[in-house]
Amino acid sequence: MKRIPIILLAVLTILVLSAPAKAAKRVVLIDPGHGGADSGVAVGEKAAEKDVTLAIALLTKKALAGGDIEVLLTRTTDTALSTAERAKAAATARPDLFLSLHVNAGFDKKASGFEVWFPGFQPAAGNGGDSKAILKDMARNRYLNESVKLSRAIERNLSTVFPKANRGLREAPVPVLENLSVPAVVVEIGFATHAGDQRKLLDEASRQAIAAALAKSIREAL
């Protein structure tokens, strides 16, 4: 049996040890709002919010395919999910980003455009001094900057689909985000009650443009 020279063996060992480790995939969890008997708001005569959010979620997943980002969905079919079930899915997946998709509606039919909501800072002082509650608040607050970063990226990129219809970032308690210790946002993609937005939400090319904008925002945030 031929022996490998010591110098060659040393070189091979150095090359193996210095080879970069394969980077782990970043995980994104997309939550298409509503589903099942909960159809959400009506978007035209033949579609509902639940259909639009699922379609855009699937297109966003497709737009992110083939890279170093793994995209999971809370639902891939017309299935009913409670807020608790969505939160459980996020707790199980432990994603790097959580994105919940919805469609807006308003009494004023002139209201249009998109909104991005993030949970905002949770003051530890409001928990009565309970140590477990304080630690929980601190864990949530760790991800505030990442949530804001994602919100700003979405605001910037969706403005190309909804020009001059950016309703800005909103900081407020959001039920689906309330107990999540991950960077998370809710996007209200257009108004079902606005004729122009409705056309975009039902148009395949516009849906793909929305999905592309969301995918670009996710890449930028990560």
Residue 126 one-letter amino acid: G
Question: Between β-strands 97-104 and 26-32, what pairing exists: parallel, antiparallel or unpaired?
Answer: parallel
Beta bridge partners of 183: none
**pLDDT for the residue 23:** 60
The architecture (CATH level 2) of 21-181+193-221 comes to: 3-Layer(aba) Sandwich (3.40)
Q: Encode pLDDT of 137-164 as tens digits.
A: 655 667 788 888 899 999 999 999 988 7
Q: Position of tokens 């308690």?
A: 173
**pLDDT for the residue 16:** 44
Instruction: Evaluate if residue 25 carries a pLDDT over 60.
Output: yes
> Would you say the pTM of this structure is higher than 0.85?
no
CB within 8 Å of 164: residues ≥ 6 apart: none
Instruction: Evaluate if residue 197 carries a pLDDT over 80.
Output: yes
42, 112, 173, 207 from 56: Cα distances, Å: 16, 18, 24, 6
Pick the closest to residue 100 from 178, 16, 191 (CA basis). 178
Domain positions in the chain? 21-181+193-221
- 179 phi/psi in degrees, rounded to 5: -110, 20
What integer best gives the mean pLDDT of the chain? 82
Q: Encode pLDDT of 108-144 as tens digits.
A: 888 898 999 887 655 544 555 555 655 556 556 677 8
Instruction: Evaluate if residue 34 carries a pLDDT over 50.
Output: yes
**pLDDT for the residue 124:** 46
Contact 190, 104 (CB under 8 A): yes
**pLDDT for the residue 106:** 84
Distance between CA atoms of 186 and 29, rounded to whole angstroms? 12
Pick the closest to residue 176 from 31, 26, 62, 6 (CA basis). 31
**pLDDT for the residue 132:** 61
Instruction: Evaluate if residue 72 carries a pLDDT over 70.
Output: yes
Question: Between β-strands 26-32 and 69-73, what pairing exists: parallel, antiparallel or unpaired?
Answer: parallel
